Amino acid sequence: MPAEIEPAVAERRITLLETLDRVLNKGVVITGDVTLSVADVDLIFVGLRLLLSSVETARDLRLSREACLSPHACPGTADRGDGRQA
Amino acid sequence: MQAYYIYGIVSFPPQLSREIWGHGGEPVCLLPRGDLAAVVSPSPLGPWPPDEARLSLHEAVVEQVMASRSILPVRFNTILRTEEAVIALLDQRAREFRSALERVAGKVEMGLRVLWEPPGEGEVHADQEIEGGGPGTEYLSRRLKEEWRRAKLLQAGERLIQELDAPLRSLAVESWLQRFPTNRLLIAGAYLVERPRVDAFREGVVKACEQFPRLRFLLTGPWPPYHFVNGAHDGTVDAFAA
């Protein structure tokens, strides 16, 4: 049986990886004066692979209706620290 | 030399409604040009290492701005050398930015990933077996089985996707869907939802959870409209379009 991921850790990991997928790979593209280094590109690919595999293990969270409605357990809906509920 | 790190594009006025801090503890401000402004902070030329702290900081800046107005989020590590370069950017792409801001006005992005258990091997019919022959035939037989299985998979999955997407689409203004991104991800998608309808959208996903107990849903958001700032929205957004 796969190791249980602690919900708080899993939630944080998923939120981070969802963030990573967006800020590195989506949004307005502007050709800046800084070019992405090879290491940055590697991180994008590694990050995206981690994202997909982490999401695939998200079923360990056993998201139920109750879990979805609880801001604590539902990934991405935790208070972001500025008092604003997502 | 001081350069400018760009977090996003907003309409102008108004000025920022609160103090926001960016990379390296520098204050975030607006660089306006006409009815647009870039959300920036003074920065070394970088690039900033894409670690958890910096990525989260970048996102936090965008979301703090988003709390009170529409913003087009810009990619991490977008740094322009001079103020003139930022102004020139706003000039060159004014029309694109203006229309994108109109498109996302009053809306947020909700992210959805749906996991499934693809139907198993046993779906292959006996009459797909090819009797006799040598290793070449055996190879072809195997390939045929794989193709058959894959076609059945896509068919079953596609039906599921339609059933899932239809009610959620009706709660959103636009959607962006990636079908079968991995073996166990049925869809990865983003929905552009009007702010007052976010709760209804969440309820829609909860309903889908109940309707499809064998699927696993991962709902995140609200996010800034990352998937809805580039060109066409026909589900095939080109991530590298300028």
Q: Is residue A58 part of a domain?
A: yes
Distance CA B174, CA B190 (A): 8
> What letter would DSSP give residue B13?
S
Cβ-contact B108, B223 below 8 angstroms: yes
Q: Position of tokens 């996003």?
A: B8
B239 vs A52, more confident: A52
Digit-by-digit pLDDT tens for chain B (242 residues) are: 689 999 999 999 999 999 999 999 999 999 999 999 999 999 998 788 888 889 999 999 999 999 999 999 999 999 999 999 999 999 999 999 999 999 999 999 999 999 988 766 555 454 555 566 677 888 888 888 888 888 888 888 899 999 999 999 999 999 999 998 887 889 999 999 999 999 999 999 999 999 999 899 999 999 999 999 975 443 443 333 33
Q: Is residue A80 part of a domain?
A: no
Res B97: pLDDT: 96
Res B207: pLDDT: 93
The answer to whether residue A32 neighbours chain B at the CB level (below 8 Å) is: yes
N-to-C CA span, chain B: 27
> Beta-carbon neighbour count of residue B219 at 10 Å?
23
Q: Is residue A11 part of a domain?
A: yes
B49 vs A39, more confident: B49
Between B182, B223, B229, which is nearest A28 by CB?
B229
The answer to whether residue A75 neighbours chain B at the CB level (below 8 Å) is: yes
Res B106: pLDDT: 96
Between B75, B100, B202, which is nearest A24 by CB?
B75
Under 8 Å CB-to-CB from B193, ≥6 apart: which residues? B107, B108, B109, B110, B171, B172, B173, B201, B222
Distance CA B3, CA B19 (A): 20
Count: domains in chain A: 1
- Torsion sign, CA atoms B204, B209, B215, B216: positive
Domain range list for chain B: 3-104, 107-228
The answer to whether residue A57 neighbours chain B at the CB level (below 8 Å) is: no
Q: Return the structure tokens found at B156.
A: 């079953």
Checking if the pLDDT of A32 tops 70, the result is no
CATH 3.40.630 holds for B107-228: no
Record: contact B115-A19, CB cut-off 8 A: no
**Which chain A residues are closer than 8 Å to B8 by Cβ?**
27-28
Q: Is residue A86 part of a domain?
A: no
A38 vs A8, more confident: A8
Domain hosting residue A47, numbered range: 7-25+34-69
Task: Tell me the residue ranges of DSSP E strands in chain B.
Answer: 3-11, 29-33, 36-43, 72-73, 79-80, 107-115, 174-179, 185-194, 216-223
Q: Return the structure tokens found at B92.
A: 């060159």
Q: Is residue A45 part of a domain?
A: yes
- How many CB contacts within 8 angstroms connect chain A with chain B? 145
Q: What is the pTM of this model?
A: 0.75
Q: Is residue A12 part of a domain?
A: yes
Res B39: pLDDT: 98
Record: contact B218-A55, CB cut-off 8 A: yes
Q: Is residue A78 part of a domain?
A: no
Res B84: pLDDT: 93
Res A34: pLDDT: 54
Q: Percentage of chain A surpassing pLDDT 70?
A: 26
Distance CA B92, CA B72 (A): 16
